[in-house]
Structures are given as structure tokens and as C-alpha cells.
Amino acid sequence: MGLLRVQYQGEKNQGGMIISVILSRRLSVWCRLPNGKWDLGKIEETLGDEATISLLSGTVVKVSTAELLPANPDILEGVDDLMQLSYLNEPSVLHNIKHRYAQDLIYSKAGPVLIAVNPFKEIPIYGNEILTSYKQNAKDSPHVYAIADAAYNEMMRDEKNQSIILSGESGAGKTETAKYVMQYLASLGCGNDSMGYEILQTNFILQAFGNAKTSRNNNSSRFGKLIEIHFNASGKIHGAKIQTLVQLANDERSYHIFYQLCAGAPSTLRDRLNLRMASEYKYLNQSECLVVDGVDDGMEFHKLVDALDVVQICKEDQEQAFAMLAAVLWLGNISFQVIDNENHVEVFTNEAVENAARLINCRAQDLMLALSTHKIQAGNDFIAKKLTMQKKRCIGKVYLYQVV
């Protein structure tokens, strides 16, 4: 979008060239109002560097000619490729995208770039029927399927790796768009093969372990993702690789997986991990946001387990992962007491220590020592030195940032 923010700032000092163009072609004009909003109108008259504009609302305003930009003719309103616009300035681009969005046309393009606006509702523009129409070239309108199709075809034609970059602010729809890209590529490279299904199921796993609720987005990715899908010479998928590139506010949550585990773990697993409700863990209850509207964390946990089964993560490995997650939660519940006027701290012995130690397979005494001391080297020997409260807080904040 940065390339699209073409403005005529350099022309406003060229002896009224813009005004001359607008008047000679009888164009409508974009007028930037004092509040920063762009509005459409007609020039009634000009006097020096000032213009009188009649807005579509009927309001008449006087503004500097430097705040005027030419508008596109009505025939170009709603074009699906912004490069077709006669005037590619900021208000024209935004107006065209808004016009299409109002008709549930959430995709536009600017040459090879696809612009997507999150509709925040279900729109029937996905699924097997739509997907097939793009595979058969029956549709050429802007769509995420078209981008995936172009990347696949160029890969096969040129025998070169292709990249699709998804960029946008939080809540723009990057996670969902990535799903549709993977869905389309899986349909091209796998057909009914089970590998394509396995690749798609990784989305549930990544979201559970890497997404969280924020103030702006109920399903925000908290890390960058690099997803590689490997194709052989005949265009069939033969593997994939996913890499992650990596104090809560009141309306935010930590990673989904913690809440899903607390809500959905079966009784046998709950007993083994000695799990409590999410509200009983300090790492989760500090934000006062434990649920997401319209989301059943217990049901999401079952979907996660199904996805782990599909990608052939054995039950033993699954339970070990869940044990480590529970250990993180119990570590957050461990309390400390100050000894000798904050000269050093010691760990309170309670169920949090016992549970965390059992889950990470160590003795409670060893865990307490590790949490309240740090090692320093003296010659060839290592000495355990007790932590001060200040140093303990620093280490705790680093741990909380890295894990939660």
C-alpha cells in the first residue's frame, strides 16, 4: 500500500497546474477538510491559492488549492484493479476500496498486489466450487485463490521458488488469508491425498500455541510465520516446513493453548496434570479476560487434539507437551518471601512447587534452589549465590515475556 500513497504534493507549487487540469476536464475534486477527512465536490471558483468547493452534501467550503486532488470519472468507480484509475492518489484509492467493500467485494488488486479488507463476517466467496472455478480459469477477479494459482503456475513454468507475503496490521485477516492460500495449494498439489489434509490441520496447532486475544483481535498471531510447502517436479506436494519468528492488558489473553487446556482436558489428563480452572493461575488471571466471545475453549482443545492426531503426533508426545504447558502455569503460581530485609529471597513451599517439580521431573528442593539462586564462577568452581528480590523480578519478567 505504501506504493499506492501517491500524492500531488510536488505539483501544488507548479502555478495551479492541478486546478487547471481539474477545470479544463470538468473533474470532480477531492477536498481535504480541516479535520483531515477527504470529501468529494466541485470547484465553484478560485481566487489565488484559495478555492470555493461545493461538496456533495450541499455544504460550501473554502480551502487552500494545495488541499485539492482530482477525482476519477464515475465510469471508473469500483474497478477491481487500482492501476486502471486515471488518478492514483490517496482519496481515490481509499474511495474505490470502500466502494467495493460496501458490495462485499473485499478483494482489489494493484497490478500483482492483492489488497484484502477484513469483512468481519462470513461471505460466500470460498469453498470447493469457487476454488475449482479459479483452477479452471473460469474466474479472473481479484481473489486470494488467484494469487495462489499464479504463484503455483509460475513455479511450474519457471521451475523457481515463489513467495507470497502477507502483510497488514493486527486484525487485517493475515491468519485467515494464509489458510486460504494453503487450502488452494493443497488442492493443486495433493488432490485427495492425505498430506494436503495434514498440512491444513497444522493451522489449528499453530493457532492454539501461537495466537492470543488482544484488545484489537480475538485471534491475533503473536509471532511471525514462515510456511514452506515443497513440491516435486510434477507439481505434487511432498512436504512442508513451518518456522516461527518470534504484562497483559486487561482485555488481552495469553496463548490460546493455556485456556484450551484448562477448559478441555479430559478428566484423566486433568488429574495427571493436577489442572485447575484458568482463573486460578496467575499467568492467566491478571488480565481479567479469561474467555473470548463466541469461542468455546473446550471445543477448541478437542479440535487441537484431532489436528495433532492427523499430523501423527503420538499420544505420548502430546501428553508431554501438555505437561510442560501445565508446568508453566504452576511455575507462575510459585510465591517468594523476602529474607533479611530484601537481601535475598526464598521460595514458599506449596502445591505450585510440588506440581511444577513433578511435571518437569525434578525434585521440589532442586526447583526451589534453582528459582532462588544463581551460579557464579570462582576459578574452576561454581558457587550458588542467593537472588535478591530485584534480580528475581528481572529474571521473572524475562521468563514471563518469553513464555507467556
How many residues make up the chain in this entry? 404
Query: Is 179 annotated to bind ligand?
Result: no
| CB within 8 Å of 275: residues ≥ 6 apart | 261, 262, 265, 269, 326
| Residue type present at position 73 | P
Query: Is 224 annotated to bind ligand?
Result: no
The angle at the Cα of 57, spanning 54 to 63, to the nearest 5 degrees, equals 40
Residue 46 has φ and ψ, to the nearest 5°, of: -130, 150
Query: Is 263 annotated to bind ligand?
Result: no
Q: How far apart are CA 165 and CA 20, in angstroms?
A: 41
Query: Is 172 annotated to bind ligand?
Result: yes
- Cα-based torsion angle of the residue sequence 105, 110, 113, 114 in order, rounded to the nearest 10 degrees: 0
Q: Which three cell numbers stand for residue 114?
A: 492483492
Query: Is 379 annotated to bind ligand?
Result: no
* Beta-carbon count within 10 A of 322 CB: 20
Query: Is 239 annotated to bind ligand?
Result: no
Residue 157 CA: distances (Å) to CA of 112, 153, 164, 184, 231: 17, 6, 17, 18, 13
Query: Is 171 annotated to bind ligand?
Result: yes
- DSSP one-letter code for 83: G
Residue 25: strand, helix, or coil: coil
Query: Is 2 annotated to bind ligand?
Result: no
Residue ranges of the annotated binding site for ATP are 168-175
Query: Which residues fall in the annotated binding site?
Result: 168-175
